[in-house]
Amino acid sequence: MTITTISQPAARDRPATSGTMKAFVYQGPGKSALEQHPKPDIVAPTDAIVKMVKTTICGTDLHILKGDVATCRPGRILGHEGVGVVDKIGPAVTAFKPGDRVMISCVSACGKCVYCRKQMFSHCTTGGWILGNSIDGTQAEFVRIPYADNSLYPIPAGADKEALVMLSDILPTGFECGVLNGKVQPGNIVAIVGAGPVGLAALLTAQFYSPAEIIMIDLDANRLEVAKRFGATSAVNSTNGKAADTVLKMTGGRGVDTAIEAVGIPATFELCEEIVAPGGIIANIGVHGHPVSLRLERLWDRNIAITTRLVDTASTPMLLNILRSGKIDPKRLITHRFKLDRILEAYETFGHAAASKALKVIIEA
């Protein structure tokens, strides 16, 4: 992936305010820049303005830069994860005050609509995944957070800020979209296709349920070694195109109870179709920008389920408790650190993970 720095006018959907800030801006497929932008201001009474302290880059941001996410328009500040300090609040915000240290949820939730009442916060009728998508995001010095009372979490005293950045998105994503949707159970055989950050987050959280085996599948030998250190029982390198045969041989020809797709390309989803056992589940996590073949002529009689989901972050309070207990260490996912001034370098590093051995990068504002 090549990041091209260009200059274009700022997007026109931002409120006028005094002062400017540095921000990383999507300028169309393959184009982006670190620019000076107006600082955000309160738009709705439920808003908060947060001064960013640490943020990160998500695989979804790479999909945006490729042009795979039609809802994200050129001129948008990217990013939907991070921790910071409340700078300003709207008059309807009651749970936070200026100076509070907070973790930002990747999903904004009004808390009142029909979907929020079902804890499907990703489908909130006026929120959902909007940060760094349909409104400006966190890869900047300041960010506006809608529905602050429902979309921010207080940072406990002594908590590790970098570990909390991992709870903004990838840990609940791997857990909810992969482990919960995949109905991982004790004694199951689980395969995770894709040993990137979200796949590894699924690996870490799948262990809550004591599956008998967790098979990690990837093209990258380094990431497979990391996966084994994180608890994978087996690692399959799919470079030779024979990953399905290998997994079927490992499982006596039966296949896996849960196949988690954590990449977002046709080949990896189709691999899940090949390795899922009768009665099994394919749990999709990956962001897909292209059509995928569904082999119903092979699957129609096999009692399988296919699940899709955008993270709702309904599990975030539980994951925060587990983090506080020390039973999980998401900071192990962090491999590189950059200042915001070097975010273009951070994207190059993250986008060429095979060469750089990057997992998650931390960007300090």
Closest CA to 51 of 140, 132, 116, 121: 140
Specify the pLDDT at position 18.
59
Q: What is the pLDDT of residues 88-135, one digit of tens each?
A: 999 999 999 999 999 999 999 999 999 999 999 999 999 999 999 999
Mean pLDDT of 26-48: 96
Based on the domain organization, do 301 and 269 belong to the same domain? yes
The verdict on residue 63 lying in a domain is yes
The verdict on residue 272 lying in a domain is yes
Mean pLDDT of 61-73: 92
Based on the domain organization, do 164 and 257 belong to the same domain? no
Based on the domain organization, do 264 and 336 belong to the same domain? no
Based on the domain organization, do 164 and 259 belong to the same domain? no
The verdict on residue 5 lying in a domain is no
Q: How far is CA 169 from the centre of its chain?
A: 4
| Listed range (128-137, 252-261, 321-330, 356-365) with the worst mean pLDDT | 321-330
Please say if the pLDDT value at position 5 is more than 60: no
Based on the domain organization, do 25 and 117 belong to the same domain? yes
Provide the residue range defining the domain that includes 255: 172-307
Tell me the pLDDT of the chain averaged across its residues. Answer: 93
Mean pLDDT of 52-68: 94
Supply the CATH number for residue 297's domain. 3.40.50.720
Residue 24 Rama label (left phi>0; alpha psi -120 to 50; beta): beta
238 with 215: CB under 8 angstroms? no
Specify the pLDDT at position 156.
81
Mean pLDDT of 196-202: 96
Based on the domain organization, do 76 and 141 belong to the same domain? yes
Instruction: Tally the domains of the chain.
Output: 2
Based on the domain organization, do 165 and 176 belong to the same domain? no
277 with 165: CB under 8 angstroms? no
Residue 183 Rama label (left phi>0; alpha psi -120 to 50; beta): left
Please say if the pLDDT value at position 294 is more than 50: yes
pTM more than 0.85: yes
Based on the domain organization, do 148 and 179 belong to the same domain? no
Specify the pLDDT at position 13.
44
The verdict on residue 3 lying in a domain is no
Compute CA distances 25 → 75, 103, 132, 145, whole Å. Answer: 6, 22, 9, 18
**Element (DSSP H or E) covering residue 27:** none
Specify the pLDDT at position 14.
47
Last residue of a domain, one of 307, 322, 342: 307
**Which residue type sits at 91?**
P
Specify the pLDDT at position 158.
82
Based on the domain organization, do 300 and 346 belong to the same domain? no
Mean pLDDT of 194-199: 96
Please say if the pLDDT value at position 166 is more than 90: yes
Based on the domain organization, do 230 and 296 belong to the same domain? yes
Closest CA to 358 of 260, 222, 233: 222
Please say if the pLDDT value at position 8 is more than 70: no
| Listed range (249-258, 270-279, 284-293) with the worst mean pLDDT | 284-293
Specify the pLDDT at position 343.
98
Based on the domain organization, do 192 and 300 belong to the same domain? yes
Based on the domain organization, do 284 and 349 belong to the same domain? no
Percent of the chain with pLDDT over 70: 95
CA diameter of the chain: 66
Please say if the pLDDT value at position 46 is more than 90: yes
Mean pLDDT of 197-216: 97
Mean pLDDT of 36-42: 96
Supply the CATH number for residue 343's domain. 3.90.180.10
Please say if the pLDDT value at position 10 is more than 70: no
Question: Helix, strand or coil for residue 114?
Answer: coil
Contacts of 308 (CB under 8 A, 6+ apart): 284
Please say if the pLDDT value at position 11 is more than 80: no
The verdict on residue 8 lying in a domain is no
Last residue of a domain, one of 307, 332, 347: 307
The verdict on residue 105 lying in a domain is yes
The verdict on residue 15 lying in a domain is no
